[in-house]
Structures are given as C-alpha cells and as structure tokens.
C-alpha cells in the first residue's frame, strides 16, 4: 500500500474539469485508489465520488493506492494536483 498527503493549491479547487482529469488519470491504473478528506473517503475512479468530497483550495487529501502499480498511481495523482491542473 502506498499513501501520500497533498494539499489542493488551485484557487477554484477541484471542480468538474479537474475532477474529470483526475478520475481519467486514476482510471488508467490497475490499483484500487482512494482519496480521503478528513473522515470522508471516495474512490479516485468515480467522478461523482470525487466531486462529492467538495475539494476546495487548501483542502488536505490523502491518496492511497493498493495494487501492482500503487507507487506510480499515487505519485501521478499527487503530481497532477500539484500542477494545479494547468489552471494557473
């Protein structure tokens, strides 16, 4: 199992466009990937679940993956969040 914490940095948080990019990236991995925000937990491969977390600027997330490509999956998603989805 691989886990990393990351903070949302883009001004608008993760709304529909970045959420769809995030889910598409997560869906490219075989590992089971979850996103935790506080006590809420969501599948990284579900657009509805990601949007339901209400990920605003400065939200701290924990991304966890379990499977054959877990390290690459977590690092890819953390890098994507740190890139601010190309919005700024």
List the beta strands (DSSP E) in 8-83. 32-37, 40-43, 60-66
Instruction: Please state, in angstroms and rounded to a whole number, the distance separating the CA atoms of residues 82 and 40.
Output: 21
Residue tagged active-site, from 9, 15, 37, 84: 15
Instruction: Compute the distance between CA of residue 3 and CA of residue 13 in angstroms, rounded to an integer.
Output: 21
Q: Is 15 a catalytic residue?
A: yes
- Provide the annotated active-site residues: 15
């Amino acid at each position: 199992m691989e886990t990393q914490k990351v903070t949302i940095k883009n001004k608008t948080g993760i709304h529909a466009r970045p959420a769809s990019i995030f889910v598409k990236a997560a869906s490219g991995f075989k590992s089971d990937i979850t996103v935790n925000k506080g006590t809420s937990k969501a599948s990284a491969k579900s657009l509805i679940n990601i949007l339901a977390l209400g990920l605003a600027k400065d939200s701290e997330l924990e991304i966890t993956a379990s499977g054959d490509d877990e390290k690459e999956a977590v690092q890819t998603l953390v890098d994507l969040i740190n890139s601010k989805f190309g919005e700024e």
